[in-house]
Structure 1
């Protein structure tokens, strides 16, 4: 197996154009598992670990531009304020050693339905910055996943960064696993409330062939909050509203039975964690604006 090791972004893009058959690797937390178990045997590896342009982050107006190889640990430690949903999901990734190496760009490249970073990216309306020697283009997160472990990148493209809107309201992430730590999600869910736009964003993980939004649930929640005057009043949410929201999230899923759980269990669990994340997010908003941490459930 050939080992290609560029030391600049320009060199990495040139090698990608020359060798589209090379498998990109940065932290290696997904790729090396596949290689070690002989599930993949690419003709070459494109090692991006020495490319400095892929790490770091910067604020660009109302967005954070996050380098594709910026480790989860630094997201947790430095970006919990502007990106609380992504930081919360990053805390659940593997062990400290995995979080020190793994990155959002690697998660997107693998495009696993169970990727922990995917639901908060969907919920917040993030975009993926794809680059090649031909130029750069932005791919909305909800158009990035095209199938099980497949994405919208062209053969000569690499993920340069992810642009994530700065939170304009509470964001929550919840994950169900067979144990509390170092586990692949049985299902996961992210919620982002945008107080200024009066919208709700969602992301469902490990419950369909691809990560996906629950668009009907988003419309229902934003509409009910508007109709009930809740955006202004911050009044407690009716229990029936939270239950219906959870049911609509579950309806958006298309899970399967596998060794980690049944389809029926995943739908049930999604309804529960969607209801809970909404309850937590709304309680947080009420506490921030009225000093009242009470809530309906």
Structure 2
């Protein structure tokens, strides 16, 4: 196994073009586990820790440009206001040591259906900035996952940044595991309200071959909120609407039975998480004054 250690982004792209099979490594929280268990034996490893651009982030008017190697701990500490759903998901990643090394870029590169960042990225709305010596392209995150642990990157491409829309409304994340900490998700769910466009986005993890959006559920809930005047009034969402949303989210799943949980359990759990997280984000929406009035007609702050 040959070890490559580029000192700049340009060197990294050149090395990837010369050695397309080179596996990039920064935190190593996924790659090194596979190598240590002899599940993977690449011919080349490419250490990206000296590429400073990958460790930087920038808050723009509409998006956060997140370097591929920015660790989860920085998202929790520095970006919880702009990216609340991703910050909540980051809290559930492994141990403090893993959160100090692991990154969203690494999670995307691994493309595991159980990756903790995926539901939050799908719910918030994100694009992956991929680059090679041939140029740059932007891939919507919902198009990035192409199969179990497979992604849309070409052989000579590397992830440079992830462009994530800043929250314009409440966001939530929920995860089910076999214990409360340091666990791979049995299934996970992220939801984001987007009051500016009066839309809802919902992301599901570990309940299909790839992370996915529950598009039918999103469309149903967005229409129900609009038709019921709830975006403006801030009234409580009717239980029948919440139940239908949960059932549609459950129906979007295509899970398998494995050692962590059965397909039936995953479908059931996604529905429960969808209903609960919807309740949490809607209460936040009402409490923060996004709706003009509360249930009793009082003015929101």
Structure-1-length-normalised TM-score: 0.97
**2:164 alignment partner, SS class:** strand
Q: Does 1:65 align with 2:65?
A: yes
**2:212 alignment partner, SS class:** coil
Q: Does 1:266 align with 2:266?
A: yes
Show CA shifts across 1:182-236 (max 9, x none).
Answer: 0000000000100110000010000000000000000000000000000000001
Partner of 1:124: 124
Partner of 1:138: 138
Residues 172 and 132 of structure 1: is their aligned pair in 2 closer, same or farther, counting only changes over 3 Å?
same
User: Which moves more between the two structures, 154-163 or 51-60?
Assistant: 51-60
Show CA shifts across 1:261-295 (max 9, x none).
Answer: 0000000000000000000000001111169699x
Count of residue pairs the alignment pairs up: 294
Question: Using the alignment, how far apart are the partners of 1:276 and 1:265 within structure 2?
Answer: 16
Structure-2-length-normalised TM-score: 0.96
| Superposed displacement of residue 61, structure 1 | 2.2
**2:213 alignment partner, SS class:** coil
**2:106 alignment partner, SS class:** helix
Instruction: Note if contact 2:243-2:275 (Cα within 8 Å) is conserved in structure 1.
Output: yes
Question: Using the alignment, how far apart are the partners of 1:124 and 1:77 within structure 2?
Answer: 18
Question: Using the alignment, how far apart are the partners of 2:45 and 2:196 within structure 1?
Answer: 45
Partner of 1:81: 81
Give every structure 1 segment of 4 or more consecutive aligned residues whose post-TM-superposition deviation is greater than 3 Å.
290-294
Instruction: Note if contact 1:287-1:293 (Cα within 8 Å) is conserved in structure 2.
Output: no
Q: Can you give the 5+ residue segments of structure 1 that lack an aligned partner in the other structure?
A: none
Partner of 2:299: none
Question: Using the alignment, how far apart are the partners of 2:229 and 2:35 within structure 1?
Answer: 54
Over aligned residues, Cα RMSD in angstroms? 1.2
Question: Using the alignment, how far apart are the partners of 1:21 and 1:190 within structure 2?
Answer: 33
| Superposed displacement of residue 124, structure 1 | 1.2
**1:41 alignment partner, SS class:** coil
Instruction: Note if contact 1:283-1:293 (Cα within 8 Å) is conserved in structure 2.
Output: no
**1:179 alignment partner, SS class:** coil
| Superposed displacement of residue 245, structure 1 | 0.4
Q: Can you give the 5+ residue segments of structure 2 that lack an aligned partner in the other structure?
A: 297-301
| Superposed displacement of residue 125, structure 1 | 1.4
**2:120 alignment partner, SS class:** helix
| Superposed displacement of residue 109, structure 1 | 0.2
Question: Using the alignment, how far apart are the partners of 2:84 and 2:61 within structure 1?
Answer: 17
Question: Using the alignment, how far apart are the partners of 1:288 and 1:75 within structure 2?
Answer: 22
**1:7 alignment partner, SS class:** coil
**1:98 alignment partner, SS class:** helix
Instruction: Note if contact 2:233-2:293 (Cα within 8 Å) is conserved in structure 1.
Output: no
Question: Using the alignment, how far apart are the partners of 2:112 and 2:124 within structure 1?
Answer: 19
| Superposed displacement of residue 60, structure 1 | 2.4
Partner of 1:230: 230
Partner of 2:250: 250
Question: Using the alignment, how far apart are the partners of 2:179 and 2:49 within structure 1?
Answer: 31
Instruction: Note if contact 1:170-1:284 (Cα within 8 Å) is conserved in structure 2.
Output: yes
Partner of 2:186: 186
The residue correspondences of 1:73-222 to structure 2 (distance < 5 A) are 73-222=73-222
